[in-house]
Amino acid sequence: MDISTSSFHRAHKVSLLRRQPSSPVNSVSVIGFSLPRISSPSLDKCLWKRRCSGLVRACVAVEEKTRTAIIRIGTRGSPLALAQAYETRAKLQAKHPELTEDGAIHIEIIKTTGDKILSQPLADIGGKGLFTKEIDEALINGHIDIAVHSMKDVPTYLPEKTILPCNLVREDVRDAFICLTAASLAELPAGSVVGTASLRRKSQILHKYPSLAVEENFRGNVQTRLSKLQGGKVHATLLALAGLKRLSMTENVASVLSLDEMLPAVAQGAIGIACRTDDDKMASYLASLNHEETRLAVACERAFLETLDGSCRTPIAGYAAKDEEGNCYFRGLVASPDGTRVLETSRKGPYVFEDMVKMGKDAGQELLSLAGPGFFGK
């Protein structure tokens, strides 16, 4: 697919509706007024009726102002995160007519530490959990009812009092190559700089194309990274195809990398939705959205990641999918950060939760054994 420079001049704007502070309801003020004393019984009766009428109107107005949403969705504020929240809202409304009423679903934007600190690599400031911590806290504290996450940002452990029972249908898991001058990594001249914040991508790029260089603190949302690319800070970058599809920005893609060229991050392309452990109502809503095939694949991959004790300092990739025979086929990879060593393994077995989790763990144990002590520089 050819890329034209003009495609980067398109405006990709997301309008964020911010809730304004509730303004006082004028009719409420009647509650605090005392009416003048008038001796005429007929006038007293008339004024009393008016006063009561005002009180009724005030109560109705207060009720309208204080009515809360049935579901409050917590999300990061990036265009991609909002697209995922809107997708969740649309799916909920399609399944549950009562959620189509105005105000029934409210989207609450929560700025995370990972969004605030962009000048340092994630590994130096605490890892991927920085994209979920504040949202998890809002969920636990009852400020939101459900939390929508990119599953590849979710740590392998979940905070107490929360569960993640729902994965939406998975998008394309592959990575996309974005460049103004070349159609693939193989076409980049020696010395070209590829921007990425992912050690997984960095290690696989350098393993296959050691003549290239990698700028590893290439952070920011999709729009920011494309802007940096256009500004000449790097020659090319890699982005998750799933995110570009959800943002309707696939016109920026020069080519799509095969799974053999670039194995994806664990849970890439999957959206996860969490709720509190004691919230049966939300759990019921989420059960209606869950895509079980995706949930099981993500569980397999996360078992692999957890076994390897993966972090942002550890180049790890993993992908589980249903094959033509209906079985689970899993591929896993670990690498040294500089790409000089890459270890891979695979598993095949029944597409059943317990079997798939066991496959992920077994694959992780095998690679730990092969890697040996000190492989990741821990």
Question: Please, are residues 169 and 269 in contact by the beta-carbon 8 Å criterion?
Answer: no
Measured from the Cβ of residue 223, the count of other Cβ atoms closer than 10 Å reads 18
Residue 294, both tokens: 């995706």
Q: Is 372 exposed, middle or buried (0-12, 13-18, 19+ CB in 10 A)?
A: exposed
- What single string gives the DSSP state of each residue in 46-97? HHHHHHHHHHHHHHHHHHHHHPPPSEEEEE--SHHHHHHHHHHHHHHHHH-G
Query: DSSP H helical segments within 194-343, as ranges?
Result: 199-208, 222-230, 241-246, 280-287, 292-307
153 included as an active-site residue: yes
- Of 136, 145, 153, 362, which one is the catalytic site residue? 153
Which CB contacts under 8 angstroms, 24+ apart, belong to 367-376? Answer: 367/308, 367/332, 367/333, 367/334, 367/343, 368/307, 368/308, 370/343, 371/334, 371/343, 375/334, 375/336, 375/341, 376/313, 376/314, 376/334, 376/336, 376/337
Nearest to 259 by CA among 163, 313, 202, 331: 331
Diameter of the chain by CA atoms?
98
| DSSP secondary structure code for residue 277 in this structure | T
- What single string gives the DSSP state of each residue in 51-65? HHHHHHHHHHHHHHH
Tell me the catalytic residues: 153
